């Protein structure tokens, strides 16, 4: 069972399987002293349905007053701006009866019920006191209690028992109790903090690390659900496979230092060469099953680099060299392929789905649920930062390997990408980074945000320190922690939406440490501690307002799935202690410890502690015991302690990077902390829970229902889709052109040059009260009246190599097409504009689910100028899986075309075209197409869609000389242009020919058409100037007959009454072209559109564009009916002296396609 299937099935059966929902949340007893404690009315979608039609408040509800201070109200400000940060204030209430009096310090909320714990340093003459002798200890969270008891072992370890009163997900464990013993082996980490509960929770994370350390991994989509050998980390209790994304983040957060060898083995499991059938070699990073058939719709496989970077920093030199030699080719190959397939040189960003947020409607606009091509075209903040990290790591590895040219190239790419991310995603008016640019035709960054992308942006140094602090202050938190997206998606179940994810909180903690934001560290450490303690495990996720493992909200209940000991959550908890509190930092320069210890954390968790020790930290095979010595207690909770001294094995090393050569096998590091000189509180935006859903949710996306020309510009009709209390901002070609617009109509008076531009519009909605904004609407482009600018070419226009003609729903297509040397080609496209076109392929890809497959189709597309043969555009089209039967669309390619030229379009494979089925890793895939030894890159191509974005239109006056409709078509010719064929079946049989500048018009009248498979073949040899001498040749073989021809044609125009005889070939009527390998069907004709049959079945008329024939100025022409009757094999010959039954130098016309059209001026040979 693959990962997404797990989610879906869990959601379907959630009502039967979930544990008893927790009771309504009570005031949080574990919030910071600076945070406001209020009575809450829990927000839910079901509650929203009841209140959303009430008139909205113009400003947010004023929070209840605390003491005599009024909390800051949400203020009106720039469009798209979230609530302003709420300053964190010291509002402790010493009158509370459950807080013991204290001379200098007050104990913040959350420490209630915890007995004083004596640390060894606090004892007198009797020696250290074993705190386990005084257990159990209790900690209250909201209205639940967590208890811990322990037993000390002679080897210095402890055995712990944790229990909870909290309602556990899946009622697991039913006893509401877990037991585990610290391990004294290597690797192992042991914490001694003076707080037994704190030590136990850390020990639980270490124990869960061991539980996730396996010798084999297993998933229902691989190896028929049989184990696959790998000394790896599995992803969690419910996720028993090793996924690239999960393991890479987890290795980066903690496991590279905890167990470097298992981390290396896991990382190497997630790189793969191509299958032998795809040429082997070319090792790349694996993108796991995902949206739209995985890569390149999902394109964050480069997150692997985070784990690889951390591992390389932790490995001893010889092991590092070995790892780099294996990792660099995979990293470089991945980067090079991504550069060709998903990089946009226009803005310098990479396309592809958000990292981690990989369940479409959970974080994307609702209209992308089925239209996955927009996700393939999206540009996500998080994914682009992971590309940056990967490219920078490649430069570093290239330097290690002496590859100077590659180092320079990747350094240049990384510097450019760093600037592009800052320029395209940062929103100065709100001081936050946008989560995404949704799609190509709407290149505006949305006013929506995600925690992981923001954290990675800070940690990668894209945001400077001032910007980083502003981002951390401005990103909205709930009382229970930071939701992974903001604002929340309306009418979507809880999973990524409306959720806290501890591993993302851990990255946010790292980012807050980097920015020196003590309040964010304090608030979010408490979030992490609370979740682990109440649930007796490091869970996958929590609902963001109650911090619950499950919240009942009708069809929107969730989290939909919630796994115990989720790997990256486990790693995140370890990182919180190791990287933030103890300050472990590694780089190419070495290792150092820069603790970030908020004073508020000291007061709430370590009020009775003088020091904390973390034993067993390993760096390049060298071990540390790190001790933090805390300063004497003092009043106040603002800020974090300063680092006073850092002493390694007796030597001062403060501020220094330590190399492995400077370290002993076992090292003692003592860090003395001191009170900060100037402690101040940084602002932190905490949106208090209330019954007003508008504080947390975004509005529904609006839509543009119509665009039409108006006397003063373009008029848009905007629907708010039932959302009340909103105004709208309008974007044109990615630029905001209007704000504060009501639903209804709006006129773009600046669109004066609409005759030269096809403007593309999108609109978002914002609540007037909270300023939370929606995703953008589906972009809508003005394509002229009745969309006259839109040109769509159907599958009839394709010359196909490979595949089988068929239908997908109502659309004709080529089935089983796309393997190996298969290709499709449109012989002649004549644009109506000179300028820039947007081009998409119309297709269907039914080869796997929308969510968890690996068969996203990719192809190379070329546009070739028929005049000079030059390639004017070469790019790659991405066609995600699509269950819909009508026309899905590929990504958009931009191409500059001229209206006085014709172009050939070609779709094929090349050595770049690729999807995950090409990798050996997926030879064990059994969850859909693409497993086994062969690759799978099939897709059903249904046509081409193209329209001008800008340029100058050319007015065409041709094409309507003769309006064929099957009714008296022969009578539409001048009588001088109608000839009588030879070898007649009936005396009334005729042949008509006319032309204009662009088209040939042809009509054949014959009794022979009554037999529906008798075909009239008209052979054409085109020429621009004078003809060379005619050379005899052979025609098409049909009904076992091959015509003798007096010249060598390049084309044959064939028509018969029944176009498709259901033999699998498809429609036969059309333009045939003679190639070196014989005759191929260049263009098929559609009945009643390209050719017309009279009601009496005697007359067939058609027109053919001269571009299809190579723009001839002259033609040689001969034709006949293939009668197929013995002794009467050939009938209705044109001209009358044509003899297809015997070789001859005569029997054809030479016609100059000029102003003289009468048969009498045609040269009859």
DSSP designation for 481: B
Give pLDDT, residue 178: 98
**Closest to 370 (Cα-Cα) out of 6, 883, 890:** 883
Question: What pLDDT, in 10s, does the model give residues 643-661?
Answer: 999 999 999 999 999 999 9
Give pLDDT, residue 423: 98
Name the pLDDT band for 596 (thresholds 50, 70, 90). very high
Share of the chain above pLDDT 70, in %: 89
CATH for the stretch 699-774: 2.60.40.10
Give pLDDT, residue 30: 35
Question: What pLDDT, in 10s, does the model give residues 687-706?
Answer: 998 889 999 999 999 999 99
Residue 39 backbone phi and psi in degrees, to 5: -70, 140
Name the pLDDT band for 810 (thresholds 50, 70, 90). confident
Question: What pLDDT, in 10s, does the model give residues 498-535?
Answer: 999 999 999 999 999 999 999 999 999 999 999 999 99
Instruction: Tell me: pLDDT of 300 over 80.
Output: yes
**Mean residue pLDDT across the chain:** 90
CA 1136, 1142, 1147: angle at the middle one, nearest 5?
30
DSSP designation for 52: T
Question: What pLDDT, in 10s, does the model give residues 1027-1056?
Answer: 999 999 999 999 999 999 999 999 999 999
Q: Do residues 5 and 222 touch, judged by C-beta distance below 8 A?
A: no
Write the CA distances from 170 to 19, 144, 529, 550, integer angstroms.
Answer: 5, 18, 21, 10
Q: Do residues 766 and 774 touch, judged by C-beta distance below 8 A?
A: yes
Instruction: Tell me: pLDDT of 564 over 60.
Output: yes
Give pLDDT, residue 46: 57
**Closest to 519 (Cα-Cα) out of 92, 142, 73, 86:** 86
Instruction: Tell me: pLDDT of 51 over 60.
Output: no
Write the CA distances from 34 to 88, 92, 529, 605, 1031, integer angstroms.
Answer: 5, 7, 18, 16, 96
Q: What is the DSSP string of 26-64?
A: PPPTTS-TTSPP-------HHHHHHHTTSPPPSSPPPPP
Question: What pLDDT, in 10s, does the model give residues 274-284?
Answer: 999 999 999 99
Q: Of residues 32 and 784, which shows the higher confidence score? A: 784
Q: Of residues 50 and 973, which shows the higher confidence score? A: 973
Name the pLDDT band for 49 (thresholds 50, 70, 90). low
Instruction: Tell me: pLDDT of 31 over 60.
Output: no
Name the pLDDT band for 86 (thresholds 50, 70, 90). very low
Q: Do residues 275 and 934 touch, judged by C-beta distance below 8 A?
A: yes
Give pLDDT, residue 42: 44
Instruction: Tell me: pLDDT of 20 over 70.
Output: no
Mean pLDDT over 751-775 rounds to 96
Out of 22-31, 309-318, 606-615, 1098-1107, which region has the weakest mean confidence (pLDDT)? Answer: 22-31
212: tokens are: 């996730």
C-alpha–C-alpha distance, residues 168 and 304, integer Å: 33
Mean pLDDT over 905-928 rounds to 96
Question: What pLDDT, in 10s, does the model give residues 768-796?
Answer: 999 999 999 999 999 999 999 999 999 99
C-alpha–C-alpha distance, residues 1035 and 719, integer Å: 60
Give pLDDT, residue 52: 52
C-alpha–C-alpha distance, residues 643 and 513, integer Å: 14
Instruction: Tell me: pLDDT of 606 over 50.
Output: yes
**Closest to 431 (Cα-Cα) out of 364, 374, 387, 476:** 476
Give pLDDT, residue 18: 37
C-alpha–C-alpha distance, residues 377 and 604, integer Å: 47
Mean pLDDT over 849-855 rounds to 94
Name the pLDDT band for 1151 (thresholds 50, 70, 90). very high
Share of the chain above pLDDT 90, in %: 85
Residue 1130 backbone phi and psi in degrees, to 5: -125, 130
C-alpha–C-alpha distance, residues 440 and 443, integer Å: 6
Give pLDDT, residue 50: 54
Mean pLDDT over 623-628 rounds to 97
Strand positions, DSSP E, 208-264: 213-217, 228-233
Question: What pLDDT, in 10s, does the model give residues 1112-1136?
Answer: 999 999 999 999 888 889 999 999 9
Mean pLDDT over 569-573 rounds to 98
Out of 24-28, 380-384, 521-525, which region has the weakest mean confidence (pLDDT)? Answer: 24-28
How do the domains of the chain map onto residue ranges?
120-207, 699-774, 790-953, 970-1164
Q: Which fold has domain 790-953?
A: Jelly Rolls (2.60.120)
**Closest to 1098 (Cα-Cα) out of 968, 1012, 1006:** 1006
Instruction: Tell me: pLDDT of 34 over 90.
Output: no
Mean pLDDT over 246-251 rounds to 98
Give pLDDT, residue 808: 84
Give pLDDT, residue 680: 87
Give pLDDT, residue 47: 57
**Closest to 971 (Cα-Cα) out of 962, 960, 980:** 962
Question: What pLDDT, in 10s, does the model give residues 117-143?
Answer: 333 333 233 346 899 999 899 999 999
Instruction: Tell me: pLDDT of 439 over 50.
Output: yes
Q: What is the DSSP string of 520-575?
A: HHHHHHHHHHHHHHHHTS--S-EETTT--S-B-BTBT-B-S---TT-HHHHHHHHH
Q: Of residues 1102 and 8, which shows the higher confidence score? A: 1102
Name the pLDDT band for 45 (thresholds 50, 70, 90). low
């Amino acid at each position: 069972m693959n990962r997404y299937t797990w989610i879906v099935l869990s959601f379907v059966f959630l009502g039967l399987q979930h544990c008893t929902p927790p009771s309504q949340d009570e005031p949080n007893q574990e919030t910071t002293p600076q945070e406001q404690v209020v009575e809450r009315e829990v927000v839910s979608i079901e509650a929203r349905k009841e209140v959303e039609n009430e008139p909205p408040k113009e400003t947010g509800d004023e929070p209840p007053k605390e003491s005599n201070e009024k909390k800051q109200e949400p203020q009106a400000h720039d469009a798209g701006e979230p609530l302003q940060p709420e300053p964190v204030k010291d509002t402790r209430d010493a009158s509370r009866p459950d807080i013991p009096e204290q001379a200098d310090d007050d104990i913040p909320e959350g420490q209630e019920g915890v007995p004083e714990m004596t640390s060894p340093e606090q004892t007198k003459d009797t020696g250290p006191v074993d705190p386990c002798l005084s257990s159990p200890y209790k900690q209250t969270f909201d209205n639940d209690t967590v208890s811990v008891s322990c037993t000390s072992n002679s080897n210095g370890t402890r055995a712990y028992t944790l229990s909870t009163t909290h309602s556990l997900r899946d009622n697991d464990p039913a006893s509401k109790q877990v037991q585990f013993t610290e391990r004294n082996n290597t690797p192992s980490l042991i914490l001694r903090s003076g707080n037994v509960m704190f030590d136990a929770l850390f020990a639980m994370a270490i124990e869960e690390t061991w539980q996730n350390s396996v010798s084999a991994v297993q998933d229902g989509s691989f190896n028929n659900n049989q184990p696959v050998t790998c000394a790896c980390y599995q992803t969690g209790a419910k996720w028993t496979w090793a996924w690239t994304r999960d393991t890479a983040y987890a290795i980066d957060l903690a496991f590279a230092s905890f167990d470097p060898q298992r981390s290396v083995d896991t990382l190497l499991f997630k790189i793969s060469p191509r299958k032998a059938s795809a040429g082997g070699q070319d090792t790349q990073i694996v993108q796991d099953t995902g949206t739209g058939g995985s890569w390149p719709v999902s394109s964050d496989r480069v997150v692997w680099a985070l784990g690889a970077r951390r591992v390389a920093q932790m490995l001893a030199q010889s092991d590092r060299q070995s790892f780099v030699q294996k990792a660099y080719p995979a990293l470089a190959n991945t980067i090079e392929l991504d550069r060709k397939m998903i990089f946009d040189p226009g803005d310098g960003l990479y396309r592809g789905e958000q990292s981690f947020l990989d369940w479409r409607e959970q974080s994307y606009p609702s209209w992308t649920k089925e239209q996955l091509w927009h996700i393939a075209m999206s540009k996500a903040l998080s994914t682009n930062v992971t590309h940056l990290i990967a490219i920078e790591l490649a430069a570093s590895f290239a330097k290690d390997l002496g590859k100077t040219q590659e180092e320079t190239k990747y350094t240049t790419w990384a510097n450019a990408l760093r600037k592009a991310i800052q320029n395209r995603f940062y929103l100065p008016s709100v001081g936050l980074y946008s989560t995404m640019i949704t799609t190509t035709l709407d290149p505006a960054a949305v006013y929506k945000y995600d925690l992981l992308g923001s954290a990675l942006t800070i940690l990668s140094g894209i945001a400077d320190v001032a910007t980083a602090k502003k981002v951390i202050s401005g990103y909205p938190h709930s009382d229970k922690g930071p939701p992974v997206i903001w604002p929340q998606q309306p009418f979507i179940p809880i999973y990524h939406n409306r959720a806290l994810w501890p591993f993302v909180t851990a990255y946010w903690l790292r980012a807050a440490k980097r920015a020196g934001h003590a309040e964010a560290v304090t608030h979010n450490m408490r979030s992490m501690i609370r979740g682990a303690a109440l649930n007796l495990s490091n869970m996958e996720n929590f609902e963001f307002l109650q911090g619950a493992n499950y919240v009942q909200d009708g069809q929107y209940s969730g989290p939909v799935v919630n796994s115990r000991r989720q790997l990256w959550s486990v790693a995140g908890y370890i990182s919180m202690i190791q990287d933030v509190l103890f300050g472990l930092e590694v780089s190419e320069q070495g290792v150092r410890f820069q603790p970030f210890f908020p004073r508020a954390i000291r007061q709430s968790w370590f009020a009775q502690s003088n020091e904390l020790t973390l034993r067993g930290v390993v760096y390049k095979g060298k071990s540390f015991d790190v001790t933090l010595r805390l300063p004497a207690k003092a009043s106040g909770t603002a800020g974090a302690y300063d680092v006073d001294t850092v002493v390694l094995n007796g030597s001062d090393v403060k501020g220094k990077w330590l190399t492995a050569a400077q370290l002993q096998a076992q090292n003692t590091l003592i860090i003395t902390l001191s009170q900060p000189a100037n402690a101040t509180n940084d602002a932190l935006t905490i949106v208090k829970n209330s019954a007003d859903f508008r504080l947390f949710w975004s509005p529904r996306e609006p839509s543009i229902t119509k665009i039409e020309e108006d006397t003063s510009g373009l008029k848009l009709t905007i629907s708010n889709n039932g959302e009340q209390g909103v105004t709208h901002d309008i974007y044109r070609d990615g630029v905001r052109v209007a704000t504060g617009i009501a639903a209804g109509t709006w006129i773009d008076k600046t669109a004066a040059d609409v005759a030269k531009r096809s403007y593309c519009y999108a609109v978002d909605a914002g609540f007037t009260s909270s300023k939370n904004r929606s995703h953008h609407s589906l972009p809508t482009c003005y394509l002229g009246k009745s969309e006259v600018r839109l040109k769509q070419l159907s599958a009839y226009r394709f010359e196909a190599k490979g595949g089988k003609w068929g239908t997908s729903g109502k659309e004709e297509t080529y089935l089983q097409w796309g393997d190996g040397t298969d290709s499709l080609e449109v012989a002649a496209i004549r644009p109506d504009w000179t300028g820039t076109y947007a081009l998409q392929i119309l297709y269907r890809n039914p080869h796997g689910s929308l969510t968890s497959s690996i068969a996203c189709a990719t192809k190379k597309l070329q546009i070739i100028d028929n005049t000079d043969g030059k390639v004017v555009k070469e790019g790659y089209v991405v066609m995600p899986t699509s269950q819909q039967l009508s026309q899905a669309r590929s990504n958009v390619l931009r191409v500059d075309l001229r209206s006085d030229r014709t172009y050939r379009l070609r779709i094929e494979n090349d050595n770049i075209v690729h999807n995950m089925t090409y990798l050996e890793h997926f030879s064990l895939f059994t969850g859909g197409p693409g497993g086994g030894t062969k690759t799978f890159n099939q897709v059903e191509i249904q046509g081409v869609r193209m329209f001008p974005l800008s340029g100058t239109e050319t007015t065409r006056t041709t094409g309507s000389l003769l309006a064929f409709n099957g009714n008296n078509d022969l009578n539409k010719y001048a009588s001088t242009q109608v000839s009588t064929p030879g070898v007649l079946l009936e005396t009334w049989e005729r042949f008509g020919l006319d032309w204009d500048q662009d088209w040939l018009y042809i009509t054949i009248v014959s009794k022979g058409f009554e037999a529906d498979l008798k075909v009239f073949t008209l052979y054409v040899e085109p020429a621009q100037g004078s003809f060379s001498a005619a050379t005899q040749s052979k025609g098409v073989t049909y009904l076992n007959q091959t015509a003798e021809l007096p010249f060598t044609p390049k084309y044959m125009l064939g028509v018969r009454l029944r176009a498709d005889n259901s033999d699998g070939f498809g429609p036969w009527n059309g333009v045939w072209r003679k190639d070196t390998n014989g005759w191929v069907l260049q263009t098929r004709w559609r009945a009643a559109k390209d050719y017309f049959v009279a009601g009496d079945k005697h007359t067939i008329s058609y027109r053919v564009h001269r571009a299809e024939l190579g723009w001839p100025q002259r033609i040689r022409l001969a034709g006949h009916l293939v009668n197929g009757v013995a002794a009467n094999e050939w009938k209705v010959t044109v001209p009358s002296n044509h003899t297809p039954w015997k070789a001859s130098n005569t029997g054809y016309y030479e016609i100059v396609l000029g102003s003289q059209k009468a048969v009498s001026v045609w040269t009859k040979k």
